[in-house]
Amino acid sequence: MNKVDPLEDPNLLPSQAFTTAAALLESVDSEYLLVGNTGAGANVCFRIYDNNGQYGEVRRGVFIVRGENVALLGEIDVEQEERIEEQKLPGSISSLKQVPFEEIQQKQKDDIEARKKKERTTGKKMSSYGFNLESFMDNLY
């Protein structure tokens, strides 16, 4: 019987420690888009967009994000980003107006607070009609 070396067998998965470290190696010096549960985006630096064609950014360096707070994570194709910038297509950074990060961050906080206030108002109104708030909010389609 021909014995196969376990390290060279393509059908065997490497150890967990190796796969974790190896997965991180190709992520070094890459740009990623990270969207959290609050809708804030991170792109090598924090960059927050609004619906009025404005954005703000601030460099944060290395930071850790817990997995349950991530709604979307994707690698950015830098070459495609450059082509979009060259053609000045909608959605390119050059088509947006940069504002101070603190201003756009405050706008985002105000939007979140307004949404929460609306949910509280809706919840109070619905509970006055006898609806259970927790099950009501889960059934909004």
Whether the full predicted model's pTM is greater than 0.85, yes or no, is no
Note whether residue 38 is domain-resident: yes
Note whether residue 6 is domain-resident: no
Residue 47's DSSP bridge partners are 41, 57
Say what the pLDDT of residue 41 is: 47
Q: How many structural domains compose the chain?
A: 1
> Can you tell me the distance from the alpha carbon of 132 to that of 112, in angstroms, rounded to the nearest whole number?
23
| CATH code, domain carrying 35 | 2.30.30.100
Q: What is the mean pLDDT of each run of 10 residues along the chain (141 residues)?
A: 59 54 57 57 58 72 61 68 73 76 86 90 86 64 52
Is 125 within 8 Å of 135 (Cβ atoms)?
A: no
Residue 131's DSSP bridge partners are none
SS3 (DSSP) at 36:
strand
How many CB atoms are closer than 10 A to CB 75? 11
Segments forming the whole domain that contains residue 57: 16-138
